[in-house]
Amino acid sequence: MQQSRERRFSSHPASAACARTFVADTLTEWELDDRLDDVLICVSELATNALKHGAPADRDFLVRVACRSERLRVEVCDQGDETPTVRLATADDCQGRGLFLVGALADDWGVAFRQEDGKTVWAEFKVNAPDPPPRDHMPMTTSSETALASAGLFASLGVWSWISSDAHGDPLGIVLLAHPPVRRHGETGELIEQQMRILADAFGLVEADQPLTDIGPRVTLHPGARILLRPDASQFGVQVPAHPRLARLLTERGELAVAVGLDPLARGAPPANVDLYIDRGLPANRLLLGRAQAARPLTPS
């Protein structure tokens, strides 16, 4: 059975989110949600690229979703003529990994230039296949084998930041990383916890009932008060929600406290929900903690 649907979007910054909603609603209606997170991340990246590089202020872009047999194809058509390339971003870059993520999450992708103006950037996904498990769930490893946190995990994380106090009463910036609740076929609470333990191990975090450990240089501060947090031996980083006060505090102290939650928490959860998550997670050892140091001398932006 073959089916398709398309919609045009204006070159407004909010259109990337609207395109993601359009695709999510389509796949839910078609009952093709086993790869939903991977697809939506790729749609976000492709639509954002269309807005930045392909859709002038007076032109729109088109998103097309098609499914045939067990192959799902998403296309983003814009008016640009620049060939998209995978950027080899450095470890400290906060941006520049859009097509790298598309390549990591999709089963195939490419670019087709139209005879008229513009191009189509597409990504394809195998859907409803019994094997293998979801791409950004990694099997448990044994012996000396080391598991690495995947691109899909980094893109799915919820990230919260705030300022609290350390054991001496001095202000300390805190970052919480948590996975959203189960959303797709084959995903379970156990698999989510497995992913988050892999991430915590990459950071070198310890359980909440142990002394807070120094996990080494894992934080960089970038222009515009952007803070990047990166675990050891990873190509990917997490951009931390920041404001001038947090950036100044990071500059002064040269460190942040990092917490990885083992239980799901909805992305964008309000502060009251985050407080409850922390209050429940700490005594149950469902939070893994550490102190991340500045990777290099920081200067206020």
Question: What is the tens place of the pLDDT at every residue in 6-64?
Answer: 999 988 888 888 999 999 999 988 888 878 888 998 998 899 888 887 655 567 889 99
Residues 25 and 89 in one domain: yes
Amino acid letter at 105?
Answer: L
User: Is residue 134 assigned to a domain?
Assistant: no
Rg of the chain over Cα atoms, rounded to whole angstroms, equals 20
User: Is residue 301 assigned to a domain?
Assistant: no
223 upstream amide cis, omega within 30 of 0: no
- Domain containing 64: what range? 2-126
Residues 272 and 160 in one domain: yes
Position 70 confidence tier, pLDDT thresholds 50, 70, 90: confident
**Rounded average pLDDT over 222-244:** 78
Give the pLDDT score at 131: 42
Residues 121 and 156 in one domain: no
For the stretch 145-197, pLDDT in tens is 345 666 667 777 889 999 999 888 999 999 999 998 876 656 688 888 988 99
Residues 117 and 161 in one domain: no
User: Is residue 275 assigned to a domain?
Assistant: yes
For the stretch 75-115, pLDDT in tens is 999 887 665 554 444 434 434 446 778 887 888 888 887 66
CA separation for the pair 230, 154 (Å, rounded): 10
Neighbours of 155 (CB within 10 A): 21
Beta bridge partners of 74: 65, 123
> Of residues 155 and 123, which shows the higher confidence score?
123
**Count of domains observed in the chain:** 2
Residues 164 and 281 in one domain: yes
CA separation for the pair 134, 13 (Å, rounded): 30
Residues 23 and 122 in one domain: yes
Residues 218 and 161 in one domain: yes
